[in-house]
Amino acid sequence: MVVHSDVVCPFCGCLCDDLEVTVEGDEIVGVKNACAISRSKFMNHGENRLQEPAIDGKKASLEKAIEEAAGILADAKRPLVYGLSSTDCGAIGRAVELAEVLGGVVDNTSSVCHGPTILALQQVGESKTTLGEVKNRADLVVFWGSNPTESHLRHLIRYSAMPKGMYVPEGRKGRYIVAVDVRTTRMERVADEFVKVDQGGDFELLLVLRAAVRGVKIKAESVSGVPRETIMELVRRMKGAKMGIIFFGLGLTQSDGRHMNIDAAVGLVTELNHHTKFLLTPMRGHYNVAGANSVTTWQTGYPYAVDFARGYPRYNPGEYTSVDLLAKEEADAAIVIASDPAATFPAEAVRHLAKIPVVTLDQKVTPTTMLSRVAIPVATAGVEAEGTAYRMDGVALRLSKVVEPEDGLLSDEAVLEAIIERVRALKGEVG
């Protein structure tokens, strides 16, 4: 029996690094410190596995599958490389390279989650921090359009609500927690104050808060369903905080207004910095979506939706984003790595995905592997393969390998490397 300590969890953007995983032989028999989802990921990593490489649903050798995959991609006019947020950075770098060699498009899941956050950042910036600053200093924590009790199970415990920090020795009692959402969630029980905002009213509320911070008199009785007294009290708390932070989720990025909502939130935080220290940080979902943005940015200059059709990277969300490329029936082949767009994309996009040849690298059987021409099983990053992942706040951590993968199972990175090599050969480029 071997106990691996300080293991990093490869599930959500919290990237908790204090797991204890117990292994007997090749089997994980126990996980300590993990949340329910994380435990399930480790304990059940062997379930529902993609058994062997397959072409058109028929068993094939890995070599054949890679050959077929490379052929599909090399023949395509507008190939799409998509996914990447639940694998390690090595694989992400290779995916970018593959897209470049193909003259195709590389995109990651942020185009359907926090893409608008990045658009806002590109307009106005962002005042952010690593999570330890929140733990050590924040006495006011706002969750806006985000429900960590169901999405990031240990966020409140490790970083934002409960922990005793250097200047918040009382822990939970030393913090005032506000949750803003369009409907009641379990955050109502966790927070000191729950503010219910009208559906679609976030932008207006944020702007009014900013104006009030600036000293503008608010005459309206209520804004977006929130009474003036509540607004003024919140403004008083924000300006009076020693250090405050807003964590925001898809409630803000994927509702009406999208990047303009974040633009307004950034504006509010910037305004507050004239009075006290105030920050905001997006609640990134997949454990390495921040890494997908980071690697793609350092290699190409852009975080997602990158097109190489002209031989150099171009960026245009709305045009080179996966949902758009598929819904407009532009992509004529796709390779999906560590993601399940068939289950999560809008129907129009999935319909087109089902029509074109798709190559999928995954550990498990998913709707996407089922509609794929080529499906290649891979080792699970962070369980069966090492690598790097970036926490929601940009802190890079080392993923561990706690068990050996099944014989013949390669990492995402290794499979992508092999595909790149074959594509190069097919295109007449040597090494």
Partner 1 sequence: MMGDLIVKGGYVYDPLNGVKGDKMDVFLSGGKVVEEVKGRDAKTVDASGKVVMAGGVDIHSHIAGSKINIGRLLRPEDHRKDVVPRTRYTRSGVGYSCPSTFVTGYRYAQMGYTSVMEAAMPPLGARHVHEELNDIPIIDKAGFTLLGNNHFTLKYVKEGDMEGLKAFVAWMLWATRGYAVKIVNPGGVENWKWGRNVGGLDDLVYNYEVSPRQIVTSLARANEELGLPHTIHLHCNNLGVPGNYETTIETLEAVKGIKAAEGREANVHIVHAQFNALDGENWMNVKSGASKLAKYVNANENVTLDLGQVIFTDTTTMTGDGPWQFRLHNMTGNKWVNSDVEMEAGAGVVPYTFKKDNPANAIQWAIGLELALLVYDPWRVYMTTDHPNGGPMIYYPKVISWLMSRKARTDTMLELNKSVMRRTTLANIYREYDFNELATVTRAATAKALGMDHKGHLGTGADADVSVYDIDPSTWRPSMYKELEKAFAKAAYTIKGGEVVVKDGEVVATPLGATHWVKSEVPEALETELMKDLEADFRDYYTINLANYPVEDAYLPTGRPMTAEGRWR
Residues found near partner 1 in the complex (CB under 8 A): 5-6, 8, 17-18, 89, 93, 97, 100, 118, 121-133, 135-137, 158-159, 164-167, 242-243, 270, 273, 276-279, 293-295, 297-303, 308, 310-315, 386, 388, 390, 394-398, 429
Rounded CA-CA distance 181/147 in Å is: 9
DSSP letter for 225, please: T
The smaller minimum CB distance to partner 1, of residues 395 and 426, is found at 395
| Token pair in block for residue 199 | 């559906």
In the complex, minimum distance from the CB of residue 245 to partner 1, in angstroms, rounded to a whole number = 10
Q: Do the Cβ atoms of 242 and 139 come closer than 8 Å? A: yes
In the complex, minimum distance from the CB of residue 242 to partner 1, in angstroms, rounded to a whole number = 7
Report the candidate in 241, 204, 205, 250 with the shortest Cα–Cα distance to residue 109: 250
The smaller minimum CB distance to partner 1, of residues 25 and 428, is found at 428
In the complex, minimum distance from the CB of residue 53 to partner 1, in angstroms, rounded to a whole number = 28
Rounded CA-CA distance 421/408 in Å is: 19
CA–CA distances in Å: residue 402 to residues 41, 397, 416, 428: 13, 15, 22, 40
Burial 219-235 (b: 16+ CB within 10 A, else e): eeeebbebeeeebeebb
In the complex, minimum distance from the CB of residue 6 to partner 1, in angstroms, rounded to a whole number = 4
In the complex, minimum distance from the CB of residue 104 to partner 1, in angstroms, rounded to a whole number = 13
Place of tokens 């994927």: 254
Scanning 180-288, the segments in alpha helix (DSSP H) are: 187-190, 202-213, 228-240, 250-253, 259-272
In the complex, minimum distance from the CB of residue 406 to partner 1, in angstroms, rounded to a whole number = 23
The smaller minimum CB distance to partner 1, of residues 340 and 417, is found at 417
Rounded CA-CA distance 179/193 in Å is: 6
- Chain mean position to CA 213: 32
The smaller minimum CB distance to partner 1, of residues 68 and 307, is found at 307
Q: In what order do the strands lie in the sheet with 306-307?
A: 58-59, 54-55, 374-377, 358-362, 333-337, 79-83, 105-108, 306-307, 314-315
DSSP letter for 111, please: G
The smaller minimum CB distance to partner 1, of residues 23 and 124, is found at 124
| Token pair in block for residue 261 | 């909502």
In the complex, minimum distance from the CB of residue 225 to partner 1, in angstroms, rounded to a whole number = 31
The smaller minimum CB distance to partner 1, of residues 60 and 420, is found at 420
The smaller minimum CB distance to partner 1, of residues 167 and 236, is found at 167
The smaller minimum CB distance to partner 1, of residues 362 and 413, is found at 413
In the complex, minimum distance from the CB of residue 264 to partner 1, in angstroms, rounded to a whole number = 15
